[in-house]
Chains A and B, each alone.
Chain A
Amino acid sequence: MSEAARESRRAGRLTASPAILLLFIWMIVPLAFTVYFSTQNYLLLDPENRGFAGLENFSYFLSSSSFLNSLLITLKLVGSVLVITVVLGVLISVLVDAKFPGQGVVRMLLISPFFIMPTVSALIWKNLLMNPVSGLFAWLFQLVGLTPINWFSDWPLLSIIIIVSWEWLPFAILIFVTSLQSMDQEQKEAAQMDGATPVSIFRYLTLPHLARPIAVVVMVEAIFLLNIFAEIFTTTSGGPGDATTNVPYLVFTQALLEFDVGTASAGGLVAVVLANLVAAALLRVFGKSLTQA
């Protein structure tokens, strides 16, 4: 090996190691502890009474009806928000893609919710808009002679889905609008000359062009949506009953409300496996359009 190549390797190793090392510790140490705790009987309020529990925590967590329920809620939440944000995101992006007065302002308004803290957006929706007595929606309903909806008690999951979709729709728009700017305009004009309808242009030119950005949006959103916590914490606290308890929120209640470290750890590991399953499934479906450069 030449002196220069050896030097390059040394420099590369020297500069990359701190990040790799710390990230490795950050990943492996808590995970190892979680695996260990998940085999223990360990209640924070009764720390003397610790012992090996085998797979009891897992069977307890997995067989409890609250787990199946939270799994279903997680999938419903992630699935609906993905569908809503991608479909509306594509339609709105195509709409605002053409030149019109104030286009820049419209774009800024459209992407703003993405920068709002999840805790803030949850509380604004809950108190100022969806409140059944004095919220703006209640007033709108009364205005047209309807009974105001009691959002968080009658439609708890739908309310959460609306809030989370509002937060993530701007992200989809941001990505799609950027991607549309790079579309081949000449091809579009040629198709128009040949008498293609707007619908067929959308179907055969725009949608294929957006395949890759759609894949990106689905992947990135899925990572964040599987971890939704703040919106539930600040609005429904998982209720009423367990109507809005997703897997992260269930583990949180086990860990910090019931102080059951063993079961919470088992639940945490289940969440890790779940996230990886979803990621693997998404990669199977969308992986191709991501790797094709």
Chain B
Amino acid sequence: MPALKQRRQIADTVRAICSWLIALIIFFPIFWMVITSFKTELGAFSMPPEFFFKPTLENYREIMEANDYLHFAWNSLVTSGGATLVGMLLAVPAAYSFAFHPTRRTQGILTWMLSTKMLPAVGVLVPIYLMARDLGLLDTRLVLVIIFALVNLPIMVWMIYTYFRDVPRDILEAARMDGATLFQEMFRVLLPVSRGGLASTALLSLILNWNEAFWSINLTTTQASPLSALVASFSSPQGLFWAKLSAISTLACAPIVLLGWGSQKQLVRGLTFGAVK
């Protein structure tokens, strides 16, 4: 039946074109941001918009020379990296306990952990702000590390727990029979076989911390502000520098978008706690 085959081919082509069109529309704001970052300030503001122009690196040069960009980027790196490290140090042992030494209370504890994510940040903003102020931690990277780590801890425990459940218990028991200590059992046996899961958990934590804005805006002013807060400061008068804003935004988002592209498969599993396969 050639007619049917032909009709099917047309349908497939239409489908492919529609898919591409939708993808380009959804991606467009990001594309436009990157394009604008290579325009002059005047060009970024011009009407009708410039589609063909001589790209300039002036915005990037200015951002890099005014060394405050590096200051904020360093804060982002330290706070999101530090919080991921602290989170992993707490989450791995906990997930190990829930996966390999479950008790009657384990399911309840896991659910309770997740329920702390339901606690709206604004609900506890005031006391956290006052405690940070009284301890002299306002506008320090330390306070962000502590908060980011605790905010994401439940998700990290769940993710690692989902991965650990798939590790055959026999391997661990064999190691224990051979006289491995708890420490050796974790570092020599468990961690090497679940490297992939641990990496994607750390990645997700890094992404969430890097993009976090609520605590960053409310607990820091300049000393410890990460990029998300720097970008937010462009919401008022400075907002007229669109090309520079685009350049900063591009630099702030690029690493995370690349990380996200590289890890989309594992992210789904982590974000849905293995409920979607």
Contacts and interface: CB of A to CB of B under 8 A. Distances in A.
B145 interface: no
B249 A120 contact: yes
B122 A115 contact: no
B91 interface: yes
A55 interface: no
Interface size, A (range): 35 or more
Contact of B125 (A20, A220, A255): A255
A265 to B, nearest CB: 5
B33 interface: yes
A251 B93 contact: no
- For the complex, would chain B's binding face be called helix, strand, loop or mixed by DSSP majority? helix
Interface in B92-132: 93-94, 96-98, 100-103, 109, 113, 115-131
Interface in A99-119: 100-103, 105-119
22 contacts: A12-B101, A20-B94, A22-B153, A30-B131, A34-B127, A106-B23, A113-B29, A117-B228, A118-B211, A120-B252, A125-B29, A128-B32, A128-B33, A134-B46, A136-B32, A178-B277, A227-B121, A230-B232, A234-B232, A269-B123, A272-B119, A275-B123
B135 interface: no
Contacts of B22: 92, 95, 110
A112 B24 CA distance: 11
Interface string A81-109: 00000000000100110101111011111
Q: Is the interface of A mostly helix, strand, loop or mixed?
A: helix
Interface residues of B, number: 92
B272 A220 contact: yes
Contacts of B26: 109-110, 112-113, 166, 169-170
Nearest to B231: A119
B67 interface: no
A133 interface: yes
Given A8-B101, A19-B157, A34-B124, A120 B150 contact: no
Given A227-B214, A275-B119, 15 more contacts: A16-B94, A16-B98, A30-B124, A34-B123, A100-B16, A117-B213, A118-B213, A124-B30, A125-B29, A128-B29, A136-B32, A220-B272, A229-B214, A252-B122, A268-B125
